[in-house]
């Protein structure tokens, strides 16, 4: 427990530093590192990391996709958008498939492409929040990450004291129905508190729809649970306990960001519709 607390404290301090510089290259670079790290862990778990050239192309796409916004902010190199480098990515993977067609089945290149696009799309929604909504983008990112992570903590504590009925013991033995229900409500309440603190002390000019925030918090708990269980099932089938050990006591990047992969696009959609913050 002590190791988990120390790791969490270090991670929170680093997150505050990154979010304070959200409108600089630091945010892009951090997301690039996280996206590449998540891809590496997934490829390793699935036994795909041995295809070095193919994985390198995937890592390159993820890096470009996260970092290209740095030059877009300066109105430079804007013609090099995802329509072009996305095409180069798919073409590169397919060329390697044709070259090595006798070494692996056709399912491998499409698996690599699919995983890479999913990971990059999910993390890129965090970049869109900051770039599209300059006045409250950082708040949107904080609310999104809180919506993905706090539900799990709430479910853990509620499940510890009141959990009796297992949710899906074959996939995640520790999760209980009571814990999920409690975590869902707790998530809505905590997102309300975060929003209240933000509008009261940080940005009084932003009009937050508190009723929607509470509902969104509860929905985030459910949406995040889907990502969490899917990542857990991959680990179960791969025969591994954690995706990595980059955070002692917490596992790897995917162990921490599995729920973010589903919550981030969901929250970006809500925000883009003007349902979280009125604009």
What span, in angstroms and rounded, lies between the C-alpha atoms of 279 and 274? 6
Residues 127 and 197: beta-carbon distance below 8 Å: no
pLDDT averaged over every residue in the chain: 94
Residues 183 and 154: beta-carbon distance below 8 Å: yes
The conformation of residue 243, written as its DSSP 8-state character, comes to S
Q: Estimate to the nearest angstrom the gap between the alpha carbon of 100 and the chain centroid.
A: 32
Across the range 105-110, mean pLDDT stands at 96
Q: What is the pLDDT of residue 1?
A: 62
Is beta strand 166-168 parallel, antiparallel or unpaired with respect to 172-176?
antiparallel
Strands (E), 11-121: none
What span, in angstroms and rounded, lies between the C-alpha atoms of 100 and 53? 11
**What angle do the packed helices 210-238 and 177-197 form, to 10 degrees?**
130
- What is the share, in percent, of the chain residues with pLDDT greater than 90? 83
pLDDT tens for 122-149 read 999 999 999 999 999 999 999 999 999 9
Residues 19 and 138: beta-carbon distance below 8 Å: yes
The region of weakest confidence among 10-19, 76-85, 153-162, 214-223 is 153-162
Q: What is the pLDDT of residue 165?
A: 93
pLDDT tens for 226-270 read 999 999 999 999 999 999 988 877 789 999 999 999 999 999 999
What span, in angstroms and rounded, lies between the C-alpha atoms of 85 and 70? 15
Q: What is the pLDDT of residue 92?
A: 98
């Amino acid at each position: 427990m002590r190791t988990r607390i120390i790791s969490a404290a270090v991670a929170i301090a680093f997150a505050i530093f990154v979010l304070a510089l959200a409108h600089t290259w630091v945010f892009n670079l951090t997301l690039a590192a996280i996206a590449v790290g998540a891809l590496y862990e997934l490829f390793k778990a699935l036994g795909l990391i041995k295809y070095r050239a193919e994985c390198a192309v995937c890592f390159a796409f993820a890096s470009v996709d996260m970092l290209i916004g740095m030059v877009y902010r300066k109105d430079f190199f804007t013609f090099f958008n995802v329509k072009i480098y996305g095409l180069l990515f798919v073409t590169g993977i397919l060329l390697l498939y044709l070259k090595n067609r006798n070494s692996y089945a056709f399912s491998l290149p499409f698996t690599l492409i699919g995983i890479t696009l999913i990971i990059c799309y999910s993390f890129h929604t965090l970049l869109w929040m900051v770039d599209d909504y300059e006045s409250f983008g950082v708040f949107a990112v904080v609310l999104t990450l809180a919506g993905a992570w706090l539900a799990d903590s709430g479910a853990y504590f509620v499940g510890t004291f009141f959990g009796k009925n297992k949710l899906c013991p074959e996939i995640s033995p520790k999760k209980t129905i009571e814990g999920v229900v409690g975590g869902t409500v707790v998530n809505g309440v905590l997102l309300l508190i975060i929003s209240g603190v933000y509008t009261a002390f940080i940005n009084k000019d932003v009009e937050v729809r508190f009723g929607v925030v509470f509902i969104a918090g509860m929905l985030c708990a459910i949406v995040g649970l889907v990502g969490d269980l899917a990542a857990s099932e991959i680990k179960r089938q791969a025969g591994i306990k954690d995706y990595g050990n980059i955070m002692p006591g917490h596992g790897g990047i995917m162990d921490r960001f599995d729920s973010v992969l589903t919550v981030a696009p969901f929250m970006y959609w809500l925000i883009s519709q003007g349902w979280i913050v009125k604009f």
